[in-house]
Copies of this chain bind each other. A is one copy, B any other.
Amino acid sequence: MIGKYTEALLMENQETFLVPADNVATVLYSHPLEHALLVLSKVGYAKIPVLDSEDHLVGLISLANIVDKMMGLTGFDMNQIEGLTVADVMEVNVPTIQNKDDLEDILHLLVQGSFLPVVNEDNVFEGIITRKEILKAVNHLVHELEKRYTVSTKGIIKEKLIS
């Protein structure tokens, strides 16, 4: 469990945690792989969410996923990915989160992935929570905590209060 003062300080930046869906580059699972390559090379993210036509999250696709597929017998070759779609190389069964207030889960899941897709109860994509935004909140936490609060070894404070 995260302590209440610690959590409150982290959550002071909460409104910036979610990068809303409208601001996140995504591709459709039915898109040609070359289109995904174009999007990924432009957006500056190494990996982006894959949606279906009704905005459900169906996977993630990375530049590495695509480049890997371009490898032929004699080196990289664009012909290797001709005719392939995003669905052919995307990663599926990716961790997601529904409750964007569950700091405990967010912090754990972000150890594994550099961002965490947020979905609603119908798996409709709502946005992402990134390590970058969480690290901003962590900077706030570590700089503010002992400015605002007195932190003391549990035994010591007790003794002082009793004596």
Is A76 a contact partner of B78 (Cβ separation < 8 A)? Answer: yes
Knowing A67-B63, A111-B139, A135-B131 touch, does A145 contact B75 (C-beta < 8 A)?
no
Q: Which of A40-48, A49-57, A93-101, A120-128 faces chain B? A: A40-48
Is A40 a contact partner of B67 (Cβ separation < 8 A)? Answer: yes
Once bound together, how far apart are the Cα atoms of A78 and B98, in whole Å?
41
Q: Which residue of B lies closest to A134 (CB)?
A: B135
Once bound together, how far apart are the Cα atoms of A141 and B85, in whole Å?
43
Chain A interface mostly: helix
Which A1-49 residues have a C-beta within 8 angstroms of B?
Answer: 1-7, 10, 34, 37-38, 40-42, 44, 46-47
Is A46 a contact partner of B64 (Cβ separation < 8 A)? Answer: yes
Residues of B within 8 A of A131 (CB): 114, 131-132, 135
Which A113-163 residues have a C-beta within 8 angstroms of B?
Answer: 114, 131-132, 134-136, 138-139, 141-143, 145-154, 157-158, 160-161
Partner of A157, one of B10, B77, B157: B157
Please list 22 pairs of residues, one from A and one from B, whose beta carbons are closer than 8 Å in the complex, sorted by A's number: A1-B143, A2-B146, A5-B151, A6-B141, A6-B145, A7-B142, A38-B71, A41-B67, A46-B62, A46-B63, A63-B67, A110-B135, A131-B131, A138-B138, A148-B154, A149-B154, A150-B152, A150-B154, A150-B157, A152-B152, A152-B157, A157-B157
- List the interface of chain A (C-beta within 8 A of B): 1-7, 10, 34, 37-38, 40-42, 44, 46-47, 62-64, 67-68, 71, 75-78, 103, 107-108, 110-112, 114, 131-132, 134-136, 138-139, 141-143, 145-154, 157-158, 160-161
